Chain A
């Protein structure tokens, strides 16, 4: 840090021009007041718009909501649901609640890792799947549960994990 920095918007350099600022700007404009108290809903909406929290959008939030870089990423790091890297096309949510645990959720995770080489929180090379865990989905009768994107799979035979995911691969 050389001298005091200012809180004026960064001008965009040619590479950054590709980034679409309009969505984050729209979200900020719609706030009742530009205040850090709206931080978490804003983060959720930005993630809704971009699928994750791109750094360019965070820079705008830092300026507009007058919050520091350390602080905004401190908040993001608390919520596993908030992602700072672009996730795969489908987010896999493996329930690891008690019932799902007993019914072999670990096997599901291992199968995924074997085939796609991703551990919890990671995204595969083709950017197709991102593996996440959920603590309990409230449907223990259907354990074990896997959610792929918006599709729900209950009573999944862990051995059939890969064939289930394969159908998504085929769609590509």
Chain B
């Protein structure tokens, strides 16, 4: 909740006593208390609008009777509301009847049929014979963009699409045109829609005027089989409704039911239109063995037997530590748990990890340090009630689009202030009264966070004595900030102190603060230092300020958090237990073993180097494609070339799979059961809705069979049994798997060990002679990871890969939009199309990393930080 508490009003609806916060529209309050009022244009995410005129109620205030529209009339103390009086019905009915004059009754072929508020309201009011002459429109449907169809004959001008596009998404691609008798919804001058393609307009449209062109679904949505699941893309963890018909996954929709999931019925382009990969023809369907350079189909029995034999012989010859595993950050918690159990229990190896942990193990530490300091973070559903949001190093509309939706809702209903700190001039459109944009010099994140802390201390913006008392090494830390003067900050970050002071004052004021950290921070050579500096800033306002601080660590994929929680790291056992004798013994007990010896060298820490140096002899890559995804692509390639035995489990033939000795086809998120944990630690279920493609099998079953073939089977069988075991081994997950909610796990050590994380001094990123630009890379707005490339709908809207260059830089080299540009680093060069804009700041270029043809990770040659590159017009 925001720190500004709202007064609670007591009033009556249909003579029943109810309560609601002051200012809430009567309609919302009635719905929350179980009353139904006819309406077509109300959505609690949006500002009240009163377009449809069908929600009239009678309100008695001090015996004065009034007829009001319940979607705009706020509740006040002591009012008496009557729904469905003879008089209000007369008005509401008339408006509905007028809508039905124009609205076609093509319900059998309408996507909304069965979930259509117009149908429901007509039915509820019993309007079977309208009094007016029917005069239907008969315009052709508009299909000028590949994804969203406009069939405006069904449009009732509620304006929901226009409002959601503006208020929730901040895009404003749609508006009313030719207002008056000929009014229509559409784009400027009927141009093809060019937007973020979030499809929110489809969700909110009450009548099927806007349809999802990518789905084969046509008509009677109510007859589809709907299953609630969790999206498998970014780590925001949106609840999705998977719609199936005759064994086909035909559509993904959002559901706006109150209290369902954490996303408030919002979805982004990836979540909604990115389901084409599930039943793609390119899916791997059978296990395959690499026989002399070509892949041959084998049976599952053969595959499991070969794996068990090869792994066992490697253990016998080179010891258990010679076997390593990489788990996908898209694995379910249950699978991740079994993956590390397979390694630790059945093979005796502690060499398990995931790609984020190989690259940035400090992110897990960052999270732990937050907990140690008592910053345990509120549920993400509270984001919309925040007073201040600090968006640090994240291009929110691309990285967490639904996070952006929540922030915008906060701006409208809570008055949230936004601080946007990013080395690129990323755009976050909102109606915020106070949006402070800190576009800092690339790489100077740490200098920025330190200066903000320093300003708070110097200006005594929080109670410093309270902070000093609460955190033991306060003095040392303050001393370490001595060098962070305004001049130096200006020098490093390029921001003047007045602006930074404004940001510091905004962040330090009594408030409920949310800090969203983006994955861009991993690009920084001093990523750990930057996170520590940010952590210190949060500790300072947490310990000395009023209100609260919630920090969410950067996590990229849907279960990046969960695989770490489940102990798929060499440094932690499940539940972030240190790998020591005591914890190993506890784990052995849970697994029904006498002892568990995991005292071995940590080769997985530098996994790929260990493969090259020969320490690791066999590698099991489950659902990951390091060749395309690991930030040092050439290192991963060298490692996989060297490794004697490589198992790859994946849904598609990835570059990594092409190097494998054995390939196992795996299941997508729609073909298995389990849970994902999102970056804000909400544990949410995914469900099997379609049968696996070919003979693909869930990783869960495969790990079990390998353990059995190794002669050391697990003491658990079903998913429920594994969940029970997780609950006992990781106490934070207790009761997390029950029901349909989105429980957030709470750390046990909250506030136990407060302390600032004093780290090395800030070092300016080095320039490399001849390579004047710094390359920044992250996920594209329509892509994340490697599955979205197999979704035609997303490919068609994302277009080709481009290199974003600042206008000034482009002008200097006479580069224009659309030119072919050669981008070169010391290690690699490629030719891409130029996108000249103002998002890239001078001296930086940005390339999305999601195209396999131009793997961005090949630019890097072992170095950390931003890769120095040069650009020139291609000949």
Contacts and interface: CB of A to CB of B under 8 A. Distances in A.
B555 interface: no
Contact of B177 (A3, A7, A8, A73): A73
Interface in B530-589: none
Contacts of A71: 172, 175
B426 A73 contact: no
B395 A4 contact: yes
B839 A74 contact: no
Question: DSSP class of B's interface residues: helix, strand, loop or mixed?
Answer: loop
B178 A77 contact: yes
Nearest to A68: B172
Contact of A70 (B175, B196, B395): B175
A19 interface: no
A100 to B, nearest CB: 21
A15 interface: no
Contact of B804 (A3, A8, A68, A77): A3
B57 interface: no
Contacts of A7: 427, 838
A112 B288 CA distance: 77
Contact of A4 (B197, B398, B836): B398
B425 A6 contact: yes
B502 to A, nearest CB: 20
A68 B172 CA distance: 6
Contact of A68 (B175, B425, B835): B175
A13 interface: yes
Interface in B189-246: 189, 194-197
B839 A3 contact: yes
Question: DSSP class of A's interface residues: helix, strand, loop or mixed?
Answer: loop
Given A70-B174, A72-B188, A84-B189, A4 B838 contact: no
A69 to B, nearest CB: 4
Interface in B422-480: 425-428
Contacts of A69: 172, 187-188
Find the residue from A11, A68, A69, A73 having the highest chain B CB count within 10 A. Answer: A68
A71 to B, nearest CB: 5
Contacts of B804: 3
Find the residue from A4, A69, A78 having the highest chain B CB count within 10 A. Answer: A4
B781 interface: yes
A58 to B, nearest CB: 9
Interface string A70-98: 11111001100000100000000000000
Given A69-B188, A72-B188, A3 B175 contact: no
Find the residue from A3, A7, A78, A84 having the highest chain B CB count within 10 A. Answer: A3
A2 interface: yes
Given A8-B838, A73-B188, A77-B179, A1 B196 contact: yes
A5 interface: yes
Contacts of B174: 70
B780 interface: yes
Contacts of A72: 188
A1 B175 CA distance: 18
Contacts of A74: 175-177, 179, 188
B382 interface: no
A68 to B, nearest CB: 3
Chain B, interface size category, equals 35 or more
B807 A8 contact: yes
B173 A68 contact: yes
Given A8-B838, A71-B172, A2 B798 contact: yes
A74 B189 CA distance: 8
B802 interface: yes
A47 B173 CA distance: 24
A70 B173 contact: yes
A38 B584 CA distance: 70
B816 A13 contact: yes
A13 B810 CA distance: 13
Given A70-B188, A74-B188, A78-B180, A5 B427 contact: yes
Given A8-B807, A69-B188, A70-B188, A2 B175 contact: no
B325 interface: no
B178 A78 contact: yes
B835 A2 contact: yes
A136 B346 CA distance: 91
B144 interface: no
A1 B427 contact: no
Contacts of B173: 68, 70
Nearest to B184: A77
A78 B816 contact: no
B140 to A, nearest CB: 20
Interface string B512-538: 000000000000000000000000000
A5 B196 CA distance: 11
A90 B850 CA distance: 55
B781 A70 contact: no
A3 B428 CA distance: 11
A144 B846 CA distance: 64
Interface string B750-783: 0000000000000000000000000000001100
Contacts of B816: 13
Interface in B784-808: 798-799, 802, 804, 807
A11 B428 CA distance: 22
Contact of B395 (A3, A8, A13): A3
B179 A11 contact: no
B195 to A, nearest CB: 6
24 contacts: A1-B195, A1-B196, A1-B197, A2-B798, A2-B835, A3-B397, A3-B398, A3-B839, A3-B846, A4-B426, A4-B427, A4-B428, A4-B781, A5-B427, A5-B837, A6-B839, A11-B807, A11-B836, A70-B175, A72-B188, A73-B175, A73-B189, A74-B176, A77-B178
Interface of A: 1-8, 11, 13, 68-74, 77-78, 84
Given A1-B194, A6-B837, 14 more contacts: A2-B798, A4-B395, A4-B397, A4-B398, A5-B837, A5-B839, A68-B172, A70-B172, A70-B187, A71-B172, A72-B188, A77-B178, A78-B178, A78-B180
10 closest pairs, A vs B, by CB? A68-B172, A8-B838, A74-B175, A73-B188, A6-B838, A70-B175, A4-B427, A69-B188, A78-B179, A77-B177
